[in-house]
Amino acid sequence: MTRAFNFSAGPAALPEPVLRQVQEELLEWRGERASVMEVSHRGKAFVACAAEAERDLRELAGVPDDYAVLFLQGGATLLAALLPMNLAGPEAGADYVLTGHWGEKALDNARVSLRARVAASAKADGYDHVPDPAGWDLDPDAAYVHITSNETIHGVEFRQVPDTGDVPLVVDASSNLLSEPLDVRRFGVIYGGAQKNLGPSGLAVAIVRRDLLGRHGRLLPPIFELLNQVKNDSMFNTPPTFAWYVLGLVLKWMKAEGGLAALGERNRRKAERLYAVIDGSGGFYRNPVRPEARSRMNVPFTLPDPALDPVFLKEAEAASLVGLKGHRAVGGMRASIYNAMPEAGVAALADFMADFARRHG
Amino acid sequence: MTRAFNFSAGPAALPEPVLRQVQEELLEWRGERASVMEVSHRGKAFVACAAEAERDLRELAGVPDDYAVLFLQGGATLLAALLPMNLAGPEAGADYVLTGHWGEKALDNARVSLRARVAASAKADGYDHVPDPAGWDLDPDAAYVHITSNETIHGVEFRQVPDTGDVPLVVDASSNLLSEPLDVRRFGVIYGGAQKNLGPSGLAVAIVRRDLLGRHGRLLPPIFELLNQVKNDSMFNTPPTFAWYVLGLVLKWMKAEGGLAALGERNRRKAERLYAVIDGSGGFYRNPVRPEARSRMNVPFTLPDPALDPVFLKEAEAASLVGLKGHRAVGGMRASIYNAMPEAGVAALADFMADFARRHG
């Protein structure tokens, strides 16, 4: 057997050098005479490993000191429920901009906790674009504005950070976090699951402007209070140590690859290559998203006849291209091309797609 | 380097054959041409792996069909907050029996959600025993009674399941889950973090009588609603796939070792051996817990003089015995001897302790 190019939407491909290091030191880690999975999260070795990951993330993303960086369990979905109760009281308003499935879910998880409302939505158009911010129905008194910077299922990505004035912008960046340079100061909260660009599933990252926490005036169970995680370096309870460790290795790999600028360029090239095949296929492949909002991370596309889908998947697997089946909500195919997907993988997929279209078109 | 005997309280030692298998198949798992960390949780291979783990857990513990088995993120602490809101409405009462630190924490995380009260507590005695159930101040109308079956810090374990009549018994079994046979029918909910007896951190297990869920009458964020996890086989959101996979391997190892009866016998022998050294040390080592409530999993003990603590730890490490430093709340030492700690490790520690006492007594 050999490893395939894995286009899974998440959990997703990890950098092979990271996996090799994990394999190498799986039974004995850093002189601990134990696996990293077996050592106390409060021991010197793991505390140092955890702090390194935070330092590397701060360096890669340019996170200012007045932002906390949290490593948490529960995924982006749990944070979608916890953030509303941590950012404001029950009478506060919050504006949600919907550009796909995950924005809807975030709204569902916020409704109970405050007056969440839809400020803009592309649902009526099948989530094929990002609504023009000039037309958003924003409440200037809202506690925050929530967006999903990349919709993993619909393949819709914000290519510009909207200006929400003094109202903090809260972004679920699960599927494009650290895939290109960003200006953290434009955001109140950036959060996301690790399992796309950053590591295995079971770990979420949150970058939170410190002054936004602890002002909600609610009685919360202590484990819901994000300020407790800030005060305890994300160890208010036992953290997912292995996932945190792997994320730390991925961050070091990202630095070695040249950081977010280099990764961003590479990710742009990868996406352009696939969209060029789609747009150059004479309508054989179709991607419904308006060009200016097409995701650099998740490229959904359909074939001319759904009966061809299983043929495409089978031939792709034979060509060592796996994880291409689209989400059931939109059908067709989806190529997820996060940081760890090499350009060679995208090139192989592009060549395969062009060849498949020639043979079946 | 060689691996040491690791007495860490959690994350804790894993069976070495499990670690070797993880290492072996880390880059290519089950013909997927990808790491288990990289495959979709909704793909056939991982769904099969997840279902196998549930089947093995049900077989090992004898879980009846009218109980759901959940694999969740957030640890026992998150469940300590979510269970109260899932089991009853805000006007309901719930009785908490406190035998140590974790019972207090569970109560703290319940108070906001319902009328949680202390039905019995050993706090005034420094948590050195389990209060006699005959003296518990139980409310017959309570939604549930909550106990912590093993207190990891104080080393206090329930050796009998208390009879709470028609009121469901909810037990945080984080540190003795599946360490001996149990009668699931005696419980309404059994929950706990995996990182002691069952796997890496970042995964919690809950065994829940199905009829107890969905009757609370609250509006909850969907991700707080445990019934959503039941309906979606613990994949209402992306699960911690790697931790789930490792837990599955640990369960198979447990079956190969003879199941809970054999492990329970072995665990009993291991604990007896350490307590025999402590009690036979002429007062050199002391364990403050009353004999009938001494934990089989966590054996805390003190030396005659705290100045000896660093000497003990240093010599123990030189003898390949690691992770013995006690929790700061009680001081001294703690030997955590979960399922994966072999009898040879306990024998080595017992011999070291006896020798150390001879040399320093």
Task: Provide the annotated active-site residues of A.
Answer: 102, 172, 196
- The reply to whether residue B73 touches residue A77, judged by beta carbons under 8 angstroms, is no
pLDDT at B1 over 60: no
Is residue B295 in some structural domain? yes
Q: Determine whether the interchain pair A81/B43 forms a contact, defined as Cβ–Cβ distance below 8 Å.
A: no
Given phi > 0 = left and psi -120 to 50 = alpha, else beta, which region is B332? left
Same domain for A194 and A294, yes or no, is no
Kindly identify which residue of chain A lies nearest to residue B107, measuring between CA atoms: A221
Backbone angles phi, psi at A338, to 5 degrees: -75, 180
A126–chain B Cβ distance below 8 A for any pair: no
Q: Is 90 exceeded by the pLDDT of residue B358?
A: yes
CATH number (domain holding residue B332): 3.90.1150.10
User: What are the structure tokens assigned to B60, written together?
Assistant: 């090992």
Domain identity same for A237 and A297: no
Q: Which domain holds residue B100?
A: 17-256
Query: Is A9 within the bounds of a domain?
Result: no
Q: What percent of chain A has pLDDT over 70?
A: 100
pLDDT at res. A126: 96
- Tell me the pairing of strands B156-157 and B298-301: unpaired
Task: Say yes or no for a CB contact (<8 Å) between B202 and A10.
Answer: no
Using a CB-CB cut-off of 8 Å, the residues of chain A touching B22 are 26
Residue B127 and residue A288: Cα distance in Å, rounded?
A: 64
Average pLDDT, chain B: 97
B74–A41 CB contact, under 8 Å: no
Q: Could you tell me if A58 and A158 lie in one domain?
A: yes
Tell me, yes or no, if B358 comes closer than 8 A to chain A by beta carbon: no
The annotation places the binding site of A for L-glutamate at 42
Tens of pLDDT along chain A (361 residues)? 589 999 999 999 999 999 999 999 999 999 999 999 999 999 999 999 999 999 999 999 999 999 999 999 999 999 999 999 999 999 999 999 999 999 999 999 999 999 999 999 999 999 999 999 999 999 999 999 999 999 999 999 999 999 999 999 999 999 999 999 999 999 999 999 999 999 999 999 999 999 999 999 999 999 999 999 999 999 999 999 999 999 999 999 999 999 999 999 999 999 999 999 999 999 999 999 999 999 999 999 999 999 999 999 999 999 999 999 999 889 999 999 999 999 999 999 999 999 999 999 8
Q: What's the whole-number mean pLDDT along residues B15-29?
A: 98
Q: Is B328 exposed, middle or buried (0-12, 13-18, 19+ CB in 10 A)?
A: exposed
**B224 with B319, same domain?**
no
Total residue length of chain A: 361
Mean pLDDT of B123-145: 98
Contact A197, A174 (CB under 8 A): no
CATH number for the domain including A236? Answer: 3.40.640.10
Tens of pLDDT along B246-269?
Answer: 999 999 999 999 999 999 999 999
Of A256, A283, A312, the last residue of a domain is: A256
Question: How far, in whole angstroms, is CA A235 from its chain's centroid?
Answer: 22
Measured between CA atoms, the residue of chain A closest to residue B196 is: A38
Same domain, B138 and B100: yes
B80 vs A223: CB contact, 8 Å cut-off?
A: yes
How far, in Å, CA of B313 to CA of A219, rounded?
Answer: 42
Q: What is the mean pLDDT of residues B146-156?
A: 98
Task: Tell me the ipTM for this assembly.
Answer: 0.98
CB-CB: which of A27, A202, A222 is closest to B242? Answer: A202
* Residue that is last in its domain, among A256, A282, A301: A256
Question: Which residue numbers of A belong to the known binding site?
Answer: 42, 76-77, 102, 152, 172, 195, 237-238
Does the annotation place B237 within a ligand binding site?
yes
Query: Based on the domain organization, do B275 and B235 belong to the same domain?
Result: no
Same domain, residue pair B158 and B238? yes
Q: Touching check for B320 and chain A: CB below 8 Å?
A: yes
Domains in chain B, number? 2
> Do the Cβ atoms of A14 and B35 come within 8 Å?
yes
Which residues from chain B sit within 8 angstroms of residue A31, using beta carbons?
Answer: 1
Q: Is residue B11 part of a domain?
A: no
The pLDDT assigned to B21 comes to 98
Query: A228 — contact with chain B (CB < 8 Å)?
Result: no
Domain co-membership, B148 together with B240: yes
Q: Which amino acid is at A285?
A: Y
Please report the pLDDT score of residue B329 as a whole number.
87
Pick from A206, A221, A256: which residue ends a domain? Answer: A256
User: In angstroms, what separates the C-alpha of A282 from chain B's closest C-alpha?
Assistant: 31
User: Is there a domain that residue B142 lies in?
Assistant: yes
pLDDT at B361 over 90: no
Half-sphere exposure of B151 toward its Cβ, with a 13 Å CA cutoff?
31
Q: Helix, strand or coil for residue B4? A: coil
Residue B2 resides in a domain: no
Confirm or reject contact between A25 and chain B (CB < 8 A).
no
- A10 domain residue, yes or no: no
Residues of B labelled as active-site residues: 102, 172, 196
Residue among B3, B10, B38 minimizing CB distance to A28: B3
Same-domain pairing of A37 and A146: yes
For A109, A256, A276, A305, B298, the CA distances from A337, given in Å and listed in that order, are 28, 19, 15, 24, 46
Q: A334-361 burial, b for 16+ CB within 10 Å, e for fewer? A: bbbbbbbbbeebbebbbebbbebbeeee
pLDDT digits (tens, 9 = 90+) for B53-64: 999 999 999 999
Residue A78 neighbours by CB under 8 Å, 6+ apart: A72, A204, B73, B74, B223, B237
Same domain, A274 and A249: no
B-contacting residues in A 254-313 (Cβ below 8 Å): none
Q: What is the mean pLDDT of residues B144-153?
A: 98
CA gap B15, B30 in Å, rounded: 21
- Same domain? For A84 and A154 the reply is yes
Q: Mark whether B211 and B294 lie in a shared domain.
A: no
If you search the block for the tokens 């945190």, which residue do you land on? A244
Q: Do B201 and A240 touch (CB under 8 A)?
A: yes
Please tell me the distance from the alpha carbon of residue B361 to that of residue B349, in angstroms, as a whole number.
17
Mean pLDDT of B196-204: 98
In a domain, A26, yes or no: yes
Residues in chain A closer than 8 A to B196 (CB atoms): none
Q: At which residue do the structure tokens 């079946």 appear?
A: A360
pLDDT value for A1: 56
For residue B5, being part of any structural domain is answered with no
